[in-house]
A and B are shown apart, each in its own frame.
Chain A
C-alpha cells in the first residue's frame, strides 16, 4: 500500500463517529534536534543541562512548538488538506518535555457540529510520555465535507 493509500484510509469523513481515535505519532526528544539553530539554540534551556539547572529545570526541555508540530502531523494524517483551511489548533503546555523522553500523541473526536454539507469536527488532542504523563493538551477544530 502506498503512502497516499495509507493516508487516504485514515482520513476523517462526514461519517466518522464521535469517539473515533486518531492514530498516534511517536517521537523522541533528541537533544541534538532540540538545540538545532532553527529550533532552540538561541535559548539554552532547550539544550544545555547546566543552564537548564540554573532555571530550575531537571533537564533541557523541548520548545513547545515541537510538540505542537507532532500533534499537527497527526492531524494532517487524519484531516489532509482540510487541516490547512479554516482550522483551529489550541495547545497548552502543561508539563515540560525533557530531553530523551519519548512522546506519543493522541486524539479523540469529541464532537461534530453540522456545518454546510458536512461537519465541523472537534478533536481533543494531547501528548504524553511513556509513563502516561501529559505534556501538551488541547483541541483542534476542522471542517470536513463542508
Chain B
C-alpha cells in the first residue's frame, strides 16, 4: 500500500485525499472494460456528430501549447469572437478531428478500452474546418492483425460537414490493443 501511494504521486504533488480520489477514479475506469481487440469486429461502421465549439478548440490547443491566433474564436474577457485566419473566421487546428476519432471507433456507450495505444495515422487534411462547424466522423474497421506478438486494429475515417457535406478530412489509423 505504501509503495502504491508513493507511485501515485511520483510525478506530481498530491495530498492523501487526492491520491484516494485518483485510485477510486481509476478503479471505476477498469470496471467492465473490454480490450479494444474484443470490442471491434472487421466491417464495423460507426458514426457520430461533433460540434466543434470555440471552447473545445481552446481546450485542445491549450494542452499542446499551440497559441496560433487562427484557432481563437474564444478569448478570455471578450469570450465568443469571430476570429481571424486566412480563410476568414477562426479555423480548427489541422489534426484536431483526428483526436476525436477515438470516440467513434468503438461503441462509446460501453466502458473505454483502457490500456490501448494509438500507433499510426495517415491523415489527409482536405479543407479547413471553420470553428463552430458540426462534423460527422464516420469510421469503418478494416483490419485486425497481429505483428511481433502485438494486436492491432485498423480503421478508415471520413470527416464531413453535417450541413453542407464538405469533405474535410480522411484518415487511416491503427490502435494497439492489450
Q: Which residues of A contact B (CB under 8 A)?
A: 3, 27, 31-33, 36-39, 42-45, 48-51, 53, 55, 59-61, 63-66, 68-70, 72-73, 75-76, 80-81, 83-93, 96, 99-100
Contact = CB atoms under 8 A, between A and B. Distances in A.
Contacts of B117: 45, 61, 64, 93, 96
B115 A50 contact: no
A50 B112 contact: no
B99 A48 contact: no
B60 A38 contact: yes
B114 A43 contact: yes
A55 B150 CA distance: 13
Contacts of A66: 63-64
B59 interface: yes
A84 B94 contact: yes
Nearest to A55: B115
Shortest 5 CB-CB contacts between residues of A and residues of B = A81-B86, A84-B128, A69-B64, A64-B118, A65-B99
Interface residues of B, number: 46
Contacts of B69: 3
A76 B95 contact: no
Interface stretch (B3-11, B39-47, B155-163): B3-11
Contacts of B23: 50
B120 interface: yes
Contacts of A63: 99, 118
